[in-house]
Amino acid sequence: MMKSRWRRIYKLGIRCPICGKPDWCMVSDTWVCCARTPSSRRLGNAGWLHPWPDVKTPPIINGEQPETDEKPAILNVIDVYSYFSRYTTTERLEWHAKNLGVSRLSLELLGTLCNKAGDSLIFPMRSGRSLEIIGFRVRKFDGSKRSIKGSKEGLFVVPTIRPPLETLIIVEGPTDTVAGLHLDLPVIGRPSCNCGNDHILAIVKRLRPTTVVIIADNDEPGIEGAKNTASQLRVPCQIAILPCKDLREFVQKGGTKKDLLRIIYNAPFVNTHNFVRKVIRSINEQPDWLEAYVSSTE
């Protein structure tokens, strides 16, 4: 089973037979690896194993034929960044920021780009070890997501972030990351709830935070993914669960930094003793690195 040839469902142009979504999951001839629906068996950080349901053919969503063997695409980061930079304007970023309920600055801090039509945002994904761009995530206005061909999964992070960092907050996805930046928090984003642990371990080693706070999406895969990540960290770690789906929705509903810190205050530590007061103090007292970055670029 472990030698099965796994294929990404978005490359096959199908929906996952288990969760019905068009991305993240994988299939082989006999098994489905679902990134969202838990089972009794895991396939590393990729998701949970399920036997193929009793269906004759998977549902096609874009009319394309399944891909055959092909050489992996090579991503030219400079060319991609240069191409989309010409379509990225202050007005377009302002429009997208208003739609997401965040500030334009929070998008600019991540190096966010726009596509030619202006209806999609392109977020750079970076290596946790070097902070160099290794891929791009495209988010359309309707919320659908994909990666540019040749991209590798990485972190959504402000490239000027530097150690030492007392507290590091980890969220899921680029829009939660910009929501955290909007609240002026030391935040990084993982690509999904079950991916990016290698990059997270690398950036934690790089930034040397005293404490890590994982803000999990308020669903079973999000919480399980947070627990899995926390179990691999060698620093005190809390898991905070919001009263809504995710951090972006929290901000859109009027949640403030003070509200979030109150939730973190009550969140349990999952791998050490209770250091909650230290976490709150460190977030409030650490240097305003976002403001320092903005001042350095003016």
Q: Which CATH architecture has domain 77-297?
A: 3-Layer(aba) Sandwich (3.40)
What's at 167, amino acid-wise?
T
Rounded Cα distance between 24 and 180, Å, is 23
For 181-215, letters b (16+ CB in 10 Å) and e give: bbbbbbbbbbbbbbbbbebbbbbbebbebbbbbbb
What's at 285, amino acid-wise?
E
For the chain, which residues make up each domain, given as ranges?
Answer: 1-70, 77-297
For residue 270, count CB atoms less than 10 angstroms from its CB and return exposed for 0-12, middle for 13-18, buried for 19 or more: middle
Rounded Cα distance between 206 and 33, Å, is 31
Contact of 36 with 49, CB cutoff 8 Å? no
List, for residues 101-124, the tens digit of each pLDDT value. Answer: 999 999 999 999 999 999 999 999
Nearest to 26 by CA among 41, 10, 2: 10
* pLDDT value, residue 23: 78
Q: What is the DSSP string of 221-232?
A: HHHHHHHHHHHH
* pLDDT value, residue 183: 96
* pLDDT value, residue 30: 79
List, for residues 187-205, the tens digit of each pLDDT value. Answer: 999 998 888 899 999 999 9
Residue ranges for the chain with pLDDT beneath 50: 1-2, 55-71, 273-277, 293, 296-297
